[in-house]
Structure 1
């Protein structure tokens, strides 16, 4: 490849199909980029040069033979070290699974490979994808590429850094309370939580988990859409995947004119950093200046709702990983142990209250979507914290009864059918990216991605350069 920076996934696939680029050339560029920068940022916990080059050679052979090529032909991708990959170590970021090698691919991995994507490596995650800070006792801390003394976010932090730094144009992540959207916001890229079940989820023992989503991290909305088209669709591994079919246009329109946008600067409960609030309001103004109708709305949420969501996440940790706390606590991080212990303190009746919150949130959103196309709010309430920060630095109550939260994403996993995307919309004075979050009505990824593309158009942001 002649350029220093990685091309878009769409451009790579088109060029490989046309014979203008060889898949081998693209993969060598990707592997070279990883070798050049990963010691500084720590996005990858392992790379796969031999198998990646062999897969690239097979793509090139198929093209020369005139065989059909998939929509991601020759595109280097990275998969999170939480998502099962057959024959490739998958640790979940934990010493308890340090030597675990799955025997089967997750459905999303299989579909990426069938679409012609080439797996070049696996990306770092905090233990059990349970932290906003991507660091683990196995692999250390992953750094924000814009300001390396700050975190890249979590839990798909390695994936976000891999995309932001041009190692790959696409990476897979999983989003349980914002683990795709949060790192995307902190690293200045696009991160999509599709509708629940849009991509079958099979990375957990429970097949009835209803807050977990696979989703893409990409540098552009168009590339995120390409990823989604390539992997969406039902599969028996996930009952929730039997939903209305994905309906995305070939090219995502970026027309703000006529969009009806509901705006919430803080979801009613969050303490939002002034620069984040200003960037999202400037984004709303830019959309309004190009024909969108923007109106502020009150979602009726409060600090109790946010606190209940956080508590539910710790119950989730206790349910999934509590047995490890009993059998091998020495292999778990202090954060994991703390979350499991807190999760075990909640009774069944209190846990059930999360369903009442979901009903409350959905009733409000249903009313919003009767009058507006999408909801616009910040993705994260704060810019990326310093590397030495801690998840429990956040979540306390302020004097006026608000929550000193880090994220504004987790609420929307409680209404999983509603897709949500983070798209870059500004930077702080210190150079840290800020993301705007678009939330849409159930199963309408086309609308959400179109609104995100409109933000790309009216608030273009610079890409990362070392």
Structure 2
């Protein structure tokens, strides 16, 4: 029988309880495995659960505590990895039949970083094929469902990780974010998700090391847990030549004062049609931050449809470059949306691709004045609530009213990749589904966005709940 209080205890508290011998790693991991066994048949958030290996690691961690050994900051704490992250000796499928039986011969940097901190990897979480979209529904593993409403998606592409954290399977899970893939499921599952600035966490999971949109980030139930993940996972490391040479000093616990901070607020970023309930929740969070001492100013932000197209073009080239060679053999088993992206990417010339850098520069020049005069930008993470869980059930047509009806407001901030972006719960809609506030910071100021997120946690405690599963 699962102990739900233990299942929903955060990573910071679990590590403290383990260090003081209030609970053992063996008990914590056994409880986590029990919770996974309970909810995974309903959620499909794990594609692999390493029961025996996790139990053995927990027993070893328990003996280390008994011997009085020096313990890492995550000693004995169970964590999950996204199934796009290479793990030596364990299948890594990328949600695709193309990699159904792939067993990497090395661990990605992030795996080693978490284990060096004492974490116990308990399994791997579901993702859409090649992490390509915001609905976690893959040809290989099927539909992953939202703990708040099983008919709705978790979001994606780190949807399995988000559902696992939200449902109390693990307190921390790793995700990747190329266009919102950490923040989107965090918002739709009612948890915390952070896209750090480019290079903060070394990333060596892709075939190439010079991608300028891709990030590892934590899925967590609290800001303090997300900060702890960042603390143990940040570089530098030569595994990623673009990893930042200077680590960030992250105080623990995360400070909650926003006194004197200057915050910009934009509900629609100049483009999106935002659900009225989401606007109310985001404005409520901004008002709470103002009451806490921050100076909040509504600003005009000029994101355009062209900016969104830039992201899609870059994403298409990414897909065509890394996975296009698989089409000839596996097309019949691949997601049609992936095939469309690959086809689009193959049509772009080298000159057109280089031109995207110029257009991307234009976006930064429009955003830079906002960050020059403000410590962070506040906006919704998502413009709508979660869509149906299965891709086949998504609405086929968007309203034809001249407005931009897209769900995520996240990918544009991958185009300005050094800027960290956080999603933190800020309220609930009329269907009892969570709403996320997005906090976008100045370049590599993860400490500031975490600080603002912590202030939101304290100001809106009702935004954090347990799902009815």
TM-score (norm: length of structure 2): 0.95
Report the equivalent of 2:337.
335
Alpha carbons 2:137, 2:391 under 8 Å: kept: no
Which one of 305, 308, 312 corresponds to residue 303 of structure 1? Answer: 305
In structure 2, C-alpha distance between the alignment counterparts of 1:4 and 1:21, rounded to whole Å: 10
Alpha carbons 1:6, 1:30 under 8 Å: kept: no
Report the equivalent of 1:287.
289
Which one of 101, 107, 110 corresponds to residue 108 of structure 1? Answer: 110
- Determine whether 1:428 maps to 2:429: yes
- Determine whether 1:223 maps to 2:230: no
Alpha-carbon shift at residue 370 of structure 1 (Å): 2.0
Alpha carbons 2:165, 2:172 under 8 Å: kept: yes
Give runs of aligned pairs for residues 37-436 of structure 1, distance below 5 A: 37-389=39-391, 398-400=400-402, 402-436=403-437
Report the equivalent of 2:438.
437
Q: Residue deviations 1:355-404, cap 9 Å, x none?
A: 1232122223322122111000111111111124469868969543x422
Gaps of 5+ in 1: none
Q: Which moved more, 1:143-152 or 1:323-332?
A: 323-332
Q: Which moved more, 1:371-380 or 1:302-311?
A: 302-311
Alpha carbons 1:76, 1:170 under 8 Å: kept: yes
Alpha-carbon shift at residue 162 of structure 1 (Å): 0.3
TM-score (norm: length of structure 1): 0.96
Alpha carbons 1:270, 1:303 under 8 Å: kept: no
**Pair 2,307 (structure 1): closer, same or farther in 2 beyond 3 Å:** closer
Query: Across the two proteins, how many residue pairs are aligned to each other?
Result: 465
In structure 2, C-alpha distance between the alignment counterparts of 1:84 and 1:279, rounded to whole Å: 38
Note the aligned Cα RMSD (angstroms).
1.8
Gaps of 5+ in 2: none
Alpha carbons 1:394, 1:406 under 8 Å: kept: no
User: SS at the partner of 1:153?
Assistant: coil
Q: Which moved more, 1:46-55 or 1:390-399?
A: 390-399
Alpha carbons 1:317, 1:340 under 8 Å: kept: yes
**Pair 243,369 (structure 1): closer, same or farther in 2 beyond 3 Å:** farther
Q: Which moved more, 1:435-444 or 1:285-294?
A: 285-294
In structure 2, C-alpha distance between the alignment counterparts of 1:304 and 1:4, rounded to whole Å: 47
